């Protein structure tokens, strides 16, 4: 359903000529309505005098039902009832009920079938869309009058949180920042969930605030459909949510690896890898250092033939190197012994003997959140 758009083209002698979906009511050169149409001053339209067909079902029926009902209601029920019944009942019943509602004069039951209510925001199948085309979005809302639809276990509530919720969605990936807080005077305890579906009882992120302190999320997300669920414990009320999404640093994740091309004899590639500006979110293979934090950059190397693959890195901070093998970075496997860590900096080497021709992923990582320096990297196949 949708509103039938009305866009004024000209105003003449007390009548506004408009264009509707496929129907044109234009004034003549002298400012009068075309032959066969008369100006309805109440509706401000050039309408057919006999009121047949669409016009009879809509504008004429609306004019008659509205104006007569309005005037009659005005005579019977007073000026307010008359004017309200006439103006609203006439113009609205005629313009909306006729032009938009069709033969039954109703909003939903005619030519245009009424107004699209839009998404409800109640579930992942009917979310409010988040427009992040500029990189930022600011939304306000309230959980008052909403339902409790989305299951969660992240706050220890069992399968369903006690309070109502609303769902927002966007398509994309990158560095996501969200600031969710209750507005002034609200008693809401806001809860934020970032998730890939409403059916799974887990979230990529979940946070709760029981005060004016905002719930803040800072995440590195792969490409996909993402849902931001605004929930609450039991208190509900108005809230404000600021969302931003920016592209990650090149090479920061599997979806945008840095290319590294082998050439020469022996086949070699050298580059300076910088971890500056990357997120302190561990993505490297699990055997590479015990630290759960640190910065990562991944490089894609294609080997044209079988040989011994060696990777050498030099840095003045704690870093780690790793190599995985396979056509897909997220599912690539790690060859035995192809990982090491140096907590004091210096030179770090690893070797993959008998590496088959194929695709390899070289991970350069820091072993702490503070490590964002550069690593001199050399990869050789011989």
Assign residue 173 the CATH number of its domain: 2.60.120.380
- Encode 164-176: b = buried (16+ Cβ within 10 Å), e = exposed: bbbbbbbebbbbb
162 vs 265, more confident: 265
Out of 186, 218, 246, a domain closes at 246
Partners of 195 in beta bridges: 227
In what helix (H) or strand (E) does residue 368 lie, and over which residues does it extend?
none
**Over pLDDT 70: what percentage of the chain?**
63
Q: Are residues 208 and 285 in the same domain?
A: no
In this structure, are 134 and 25 located in the same domain? no
251 lies in some domain: no
Same domain, 303 and 237: no
Residue 217 lies in a domain: yes
Q: Say if residue 109's pLDDT is above 70.
A: no
Q: Are residues 144 and 77 in the same domain?
A: no
Residue 274 has pLDDT above 90, yes or no: yes
- Shared-domain flag, residues 194 and 221: yes
User: Same structural domain for residues 237 and 312?
Assistant: no
Is pLDDT above 80 for 81? no
In this structure, the answer to whether residues 285 and 377 fall within a common structural domain is yes
Q: From CA 276, how far away is CA 120, in angstroms rounded?
A: 42
Would you say residue 118 lies in a domain?
no
Q: Are residues 65 and 137 in the same domain?
A: no
Q: What angle do CA 186, 153, 118 make, to 5 degrees?
A: 55
Domain finish residue from 188, 213, 246: 246
Q: Residue 317: helix, strand or coil by DSSP? A: coil
If asked whether residues 70 and 180 sit together in one domain, one would say no
DSSP code of residue 257: P
Domain-located, residue 1: no
What is the model's pLDDT at position 104?
43
pLDDT of residue 48: 59
Same domain, 357 and 295: yes
**Count of the separate structural domains present in the chain:** 3
Contact in structure between 287 and 349 (CB atoms under 8 Å): no
Residue 179 lies in a domain: yes
Report the C-alpha gap between 103 and 357 in whole angstroms: 72
Residues 144 and 99 occupy one common structural domain: no
Query: Does 117 map to a domain?
Result: no
Domain of residue 375, residue span = 258-381
Interatomic CA distance for residues 246 and 174, integer angstroms:
6
Cis previous bond, 256, omega within 30: no
Domain final position from 219, 246, 273: 246
Residue at 114 is within a domain: no
- Report the alpha-carbon distance of residue 330 to residue 219 in Å, rounded: 18
Q: How far is CA 331 from CA 74, 293, 325, 326, 380, in A?
A: 75, 21, 9, 7, 23
Across the range 86-108, mean pLDDT stands at: 39
> Which residues make beta-bridge pairs with 325?
333, 360
Are 242 and 265 members of one domain?
no
Average pLDDT of the chain? 74
The pTM of this model reads: 0.54
Confidence of residue 23 (pLDDT cuts 50, 70, 90): very low
| 172 is a domain residue | yes
Share of the chain above pLDDT 90, in %: 32
């Amino acid at each position: 359903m949708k509103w039938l758009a009305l866009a004024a083209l000209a105003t003449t002698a007390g009548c506004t000529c408009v264009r509707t979906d496929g129907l044109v009511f234009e004034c003549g050169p002298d400012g009068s309505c075309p032959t066969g149409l008369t100006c309805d001053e109440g509706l401000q339209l050039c309408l057919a005098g006999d009121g047949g067909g669409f016009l009879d079902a809509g504008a004429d029926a609306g004019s008659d039902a509205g104006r007569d009902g309005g005037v009659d209601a005005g005579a019977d029920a007073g000026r307010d009832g008359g004017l309200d019944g006439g103006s609203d009942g006439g113009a609205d019943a005629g313009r909306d009920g006729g032009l938009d509602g069709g033969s039954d004069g109703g909003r939903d039951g005619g030519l245009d079938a009424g107004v699209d209510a839009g998404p409800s925001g109640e579930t992942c199948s009917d979310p409010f869309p988040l427009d992040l085309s500029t990189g930022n979005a600011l939304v306000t809302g309230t959980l008052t009058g909403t339902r409790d639809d989305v299951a969660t276990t992240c706050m220890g509530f069992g399968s369903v949180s006690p309070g109502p919720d609303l769902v927002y969605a966007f398509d994309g990936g990158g560095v996501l920042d969200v600031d969710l807080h209750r507005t002034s005077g609200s008693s809401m305890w806001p809860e934020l969930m970032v998730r890939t579906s409403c059916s799974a009882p887990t979230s990529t992120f979940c946070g709760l605030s029981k005060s004016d302190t905002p719930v803040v999320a800072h995440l590195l997300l792969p490409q996909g459909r993402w849902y931001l669920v605004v929930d609450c414990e039991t208190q509900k009320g108005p809230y404000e949510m600021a969302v931003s999404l920016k592209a990650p640093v090149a090479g920061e994740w599997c979806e945008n690896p840095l290319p590294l091309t082998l050439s020469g004899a022996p086949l070699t590639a050298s580059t300076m890898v910088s971890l500056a500006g990357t997120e302190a979110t561990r993505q490297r293979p699990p055997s590479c250092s015990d630290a759960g934090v640190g910065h990562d950059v991944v490089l894609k190397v294609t080997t044209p033939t079988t040989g011994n693959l060696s990777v050498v890195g030099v840095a003045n901070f704690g870093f780690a190197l790793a190599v995985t093998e396979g056509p897909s970075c997220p599912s690539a496997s790690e060859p035995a012994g192809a990982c090491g860590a140096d907590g004091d900096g210096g030179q770090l080497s690893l070797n993959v003997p008998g590496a088959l021709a194929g695709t390899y992923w070289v991970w350069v990582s820091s072993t702490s959140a503070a490590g964002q320096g550069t690593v001199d990297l050399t990869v050789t196949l011989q």
